[in-house]
Amino acid sequence: MALSISLDGKTAIVTGAGRGIGRAIAQKLADAGARVVLCDVDRDALQEAIQVIDSGGAQAAGVQGDLTKPGLPDEIVRVALERFGSIDIVVNNAGYTWDSVIQKTTDEQFQAMLDVHMVAPFRLLRSASQWLRETAKREIEAGAASIRKVVNITSISGLDGNAGQVAYASGKAGIVGLTKTLAKEWGRYNITVNAVGFALIETRLTKPMDDPETNIAVGEKHVHVGMQGQVRDQVLKAIPLGRFGTPEDAANAVFFFCSPLSDYVTGEVLVCGGGIHF
């Protein structure tokens, strides 16, 4: 008998949802019945993702903008509550790489990685905290408590370190601390807070560096992401499962923490990386 997991009646926020892993997560949640608020800096990608979800019969709303701008997290929370009346799942997925060894890493570069991987998730969760806490208190008093979910995205770079990614790894390590602390603060509100750490997933961030898609626009600046072809080949040989992960593989791992299957799991980091460790 097949296991069917429904998220009917739930509202999910997914950042960085216009393409890649974020889009796969948003689609996975929508397929399970959740109403989804997607956020992305790329307007065209965001609108396309929303249209695909809408065409499948699910409900979706979008917030376009740079998540590192202080006011955007408040806007995301406002849209979720005005459109759908609740916040039940938050997936902090938005991010990108901007790599250098430490002696070549500028202050701007280091701060940019902290801003998108640590500060932005912190602000979004802080923005949602009042509604989440007050709603949980009312539900508990009424004897009708609901379990809500936060999933933060980290990386094996943040867990094990990775040469050439001092800024990115620092940001991704920081989100683990945020995850474990909020798990302890928010347990009394029936909110589980977990993280998924990815290794090599097939996105723009892991394409060969000569691919045009690896030159990405982030606000007013352009950042060259991707991997050198020789490095990609070496890493592929080190993955026990013998392949890079797909965005759908990544979404499946996140879905576990969004679903009732993980209702008694909090403060944990699940590595989704095909068995590789740097």
Instruction: Give me the active site residues, please.
Output: 168
Classify 16 as helix, strand or coil. Answer: coil
Closest Cα partner for 6 from 34, 39, 35, 38?
34
Backbone angles phi, psi at 90, to 5 degrees: -125, 125
Answer whether 152's CB lies under 8 Å from 92's CB.
yes
Alpha-carbon torsion, ordered 205, 34, 27, 46, to 10 deg: -70
Residues 72, 86: Cα–Cα separation, whole Å: 18
Tokens 């299957």 appear where? 261
Q: Where are the alpha helices (DSSP H) in 32-106?
A: 43-55, 72-84
Classified as helix, coil or strand, 36 is strand
